[in-house]
Structures are given as structure tokens and as C-alpha cells.
Amino acid sequence: MHDFDYVAPTTLDEAIAALAKHDGQARCLAGGTDLIDQMRTGRRRPALVVDVKKIPELNALVVSDDGLRLGAAVPCSDVYRNEGVAQDYAALADAARIIGGIQIQNRASIGGNVCNSSPAADSVPALIALQAVCVIAGPNGPREVPIERFFTGPGGNVLEAGELLVELRMPPRPPRSGSHYRRFIPRNEMDIAVVGVGASVQLEDDGRTVAAARIGLGAVAPTPLLAEEAARVLVGRSVDDEAALSDAAEAARAVIRPIDDMRGTKAFRSHVTGVLVQRVVRAAAARARGESLDYCPGH
């Protein structure tokens, strides 16, 4: 690994100062599961590594009437073990539970997954479905960016030099709502998503008609996508209506811009996007009805 310096600030201001001083040559370390590998292979060579795990704001994990506040450094295993998250923000727990193995989940944070900004990041389609907002701090003060507008391209995001992601904020969950995240991978665990789909569905009183929906897509474009049309075509229709689900699948396929790479072809990604959208919407709707999901990750 290249030579670098290391600091572990205990306040946001210190962290911002350290990041700003190194003007783009500093990198935040939370769980390190992306960064340390990137430094080992020479893909990133920061002069300074800023360990953000000792900053209180980045360790928040609060579910309240105001919604969910998730500090950027909270490891995945804390996320899915939190009953409030598992109950109300199930899509996020679904994602956290399948990011790497347990060893990775004990280190990797959702914030890190977001800031690494891979188009295939598992947490992001879930965060999109759950209407997450990125709370950013920096030398010019705090700002908020909706998750679907955080990314600029593979590995790229809106963070300016000196800025860091403090937390992800999600609004309270509406009644009769449920969410789910699922990905397609060749094995049953330990792979990068070939396609990832997160969905949140709110049902009418009848438990069948879609009142509102949000669908996030991963690994099918240079950045994760909010599939607005795919969600819109579901509204007012029954989740048991095959045509409605098929329309949503088609609408999702229409907005993606997949590539051919070693993990999948364009054609495969496009096909599987539609398949997963239908499965994930059905599962989210089941959860909205309070049913438990008969779902085994990887299957």
C-alpha cells in the first residue's frame, strides 16, 4: 500500500478541517471495506485517511416519529439488527444484510456504500425507495441532497472537497406501506449486484390497490436510478394485476442504460430488471399487508 497519513477526529469541525486542508487528497474511512482494498490495489492513493468513526453525528441511529436518522458510519450489522429499521425500513435492512459477508457487514456502513458511489451499491435502490436524503457537512456549511441526485457517475458524487456525508435521513413511513430490496447475483451471496431493485409500496385500505410507490434501480445505469414511471403506472391498480406489474417492468426497462461487462450483458440486465421489479413490488406489497416474506437471500 502507498504511504499515507491517518487522523481520527472526534468532531465534525475537525474532520471538515482535515478534509479541506488536503483539498481532494483526503479520503474518509468508515468501515474501510472499499477504501482499504482500493488503496491496496492502487486505485485510490489519498495522502490522508480521515477515520470518521469517532464523530458522534456519524454514529446516530434513531427511528422516531420524524423518521429514520442513520449516521454515515453506522455499520450494516447495526442497521439490520435495529428493530425499528427491520420493521419500518425493511428494504434498507434487506440491503444491509447482503452487503458482503458478516465480516464485511460488521464494518461496512451504508454511508460508505453511498459515498463509494458504485452504480451497483446495494443500499442505494433501497434508499431511493425509502426517499432518503443525504445530509452533507462542509466548509461552506450543511446541505441536503436527495439520494437519487447524489451520484454523478460510476464512483462519482456531488461531494465537494472538504465535504462529508453526515447522515441519511428518511421520512416516517406511511400507513399500509412496505418495502423490499432484492438483487440478482450469480451465487447466492458475496457477489456484486448484476441488477438491484428496491421498492416501497403503499396500499389503499383494500390491501390490494397501490396508493403510492417508489422504485429504485441499481447496476443498470452509470448511477442508481429512481424509476418514476415504473412506480407511477402501478398507482391505482391492484398488485395482483399481472398487467400492472408487467407495465411497471416495461417502464423500468425503458429507463435503464445498462452496459455489457463481466457481471452481465445489456440484454440480461434488461430482462432481469423487469423480472425483479415484479418480484420486489409483490414482496413490498405483501409486507405492506403485514405479511412476513418467504424470502431467502440469493434465491
Partner 1 sequence: MATVEKQRQRKYRVLGTRPVRHDGVDKVTGRARYGADTHLPGMLYAAMLRSPHAHARIVSIDTSAAEAMPGVHAVVTREDFPDVSNRIVELGEGAVNLGHLSQNVMARNKVLYKGHAVAAVAADSIHIAREAAQRIRVEYEILPPVLDVLEAMSDDAPVLNEDVRTEEFGGGTGDRPTNVAKHFHYEKGDVEAGFARAAVIVEREFRTATVHQGYIEPHAATALWNPDGHVTIWTCTQGSFTARQQTAELLGLPVSRVRVIPTEIGGGFGGKISVYLEPVAALLAKKSGRPVKLVMDRSEVLEGTGPTPGSYIRVKMGADRDGRITAAEAYLAYEAGAFPGSPINPGCMCIFACYDVPNGRIDGYDVCVNKPRTNAYRAPGATNAAFAAETVIDEICEQLGMDPLEFRLKNAAVEGTRRIDGVTYSRIGMKETVEAILNSEHYRSELKGPNRGRGVASGFWFNVGLKSTVVATVNPDGTVSLVEGSTDIGGTRTSVAMQLAETLGIAAEDVQPLVADTDSVGYTDVTGGSRVTFSTGIAAIEAAKDIQRQMCERAALIWDCPVDQVRYEDGRVVGPDGQAFTFKELAALVPSTGEPIVGRGTSGKANQGGAFATEVVDVEVDPDTGKVQILRFTVAQDAGCAVHPSYVEGQMQGGVVQGIGWALNEEYIYDDQGRMLNNTFLDYRIPTCYDVPMIDTIIVEVPDPNHPYGVRGVGEVPIVPPPAAIANAIYRAVGVRMDRLPMSPPRVLEKILQSRAAAPAQ
Partner 2 sequence: MAKKRVVSAVINGEPTDFLCEPRQTLLEVLRDVLDFTGTKEGCSNGNCGACTVRLNGRIVDSCLVLAVECDGAEIETIEGMAGPDALHPLQQAFLEGAALQCGICTPGFLVAAKALLEENPNPTEQQIRFFLAGNLCRCTGYDKIVRAVQACAAAASEH
Which residues make up the interface to partner 1 (CB under 8 A)?
Answer: 1-3, 41-42, 184, 186-192, 261-265, 268, 271-272, 275, 298-299
Distance CA 224, CA 244 (A): 23
Strands (E), the chain: 5-7, 26-29, 48-51, 61-64, 67-71, 133-137, 143-146, 151-153, 156-157, 164-170, 177-184, 195-203, 210-218, 225-226
The one-character DSSP state at 159 is P
Q: Is 1 in the site for partner 2 (CB under 8 A)?
A: yes
Is position 296 an interface residue for partner 2 (rule: CB under 8 A)?
Answer: yes
User: Is the CA virtual torsion 107, 108, 109, 112 positive or negative?
Assistant: positive
Distance CA 235, CA 183 (A): 23
Q: Which does 268 bind (CB under 5 to 8 A by kind): partner 1, partner 2, none?
A: partner 1
295 touches, from partner 1, partner 2, none (C-beta below 5 to 8 Å by class): none
Q: What are φ and ψ of residue 68, in 5° steps?
A: -110, 130
Among 24, 56, 84, 101, binds partner 2 (CB under 8 A): 101
32 binds partner 2 (CB under 8 A): yes
Choose the binding region for partner 2 from 47-55, 154-162, 237-245, 268-276 (rule: CB under 8 A). 47-55
Nearer to partner 2, 39 or 249 (CB): 39
103 binds, among partner 1, partner 2, none (CB under 5 to 8 A by kind): partner 2
C-alpha gyration radius of the chain: 19
The count of residues interacting with partner 2 (CB under 8 A) is 31
Looking at residue 95, the DSSP 8-state letter turns out to be: H
Q: Which of 21, 43, 149, 190 binds partner 2 (CB under 8 A)?
A: 190
3 contacts partner 2 (rule: CB under 8 A): yes
Contact segment (CB under 8 A) with partner 2 among 97-105, 116-124, 197-205, 212-220 equals 97-105
Neighbours of 183 (CB within 10 A): 25
**Is 106 one of the binding residues for partner 2 (CB under 8 A)?**
yes
Rule CB under 8 A: say whether 2 interacts with partner 2.
yes
Strand 210-218, strand 195-203: pairing: antiparallel
Nearer to partner 1, 171 or 297 (CB): 297
Choose the one of partner 2, partner 1, none that binds residue 271, judging by a C-beta under 5 to 8 angstroms depending on kind.
partner 1
Nearer to partner 2, 37 or 240 (CB): 37
Shortest Å distance, C-beta 190 to partner 2: 6
> 8 contacts which partner out of partner 1, partner 2, none, CB within 5 to 8 A by kind?
partner 2
| Pairwise CA distance, residues 59 & 174, whole Å | 26
**229-242 in b/e burial notation, b at 16+ Cβ within 10 A?**
ebbbbbeebbbeee
Q: How many CA atoms lie within 13 A of 136 on its CB side?
A: 22
Minimum distance between the CB of residue 217 and partner 2, rounded to whole angstroms?
25
Tell me the pairing of strands 5-7 and 48-51. parallel
**Footprint of partner 2 on this chain (CB under 8 A)?**
1-6, 8, 29, 31-33, 36-37, 39-40, 49, 51, 53, 77, 100-104, 106-107, 188-190, 296-297
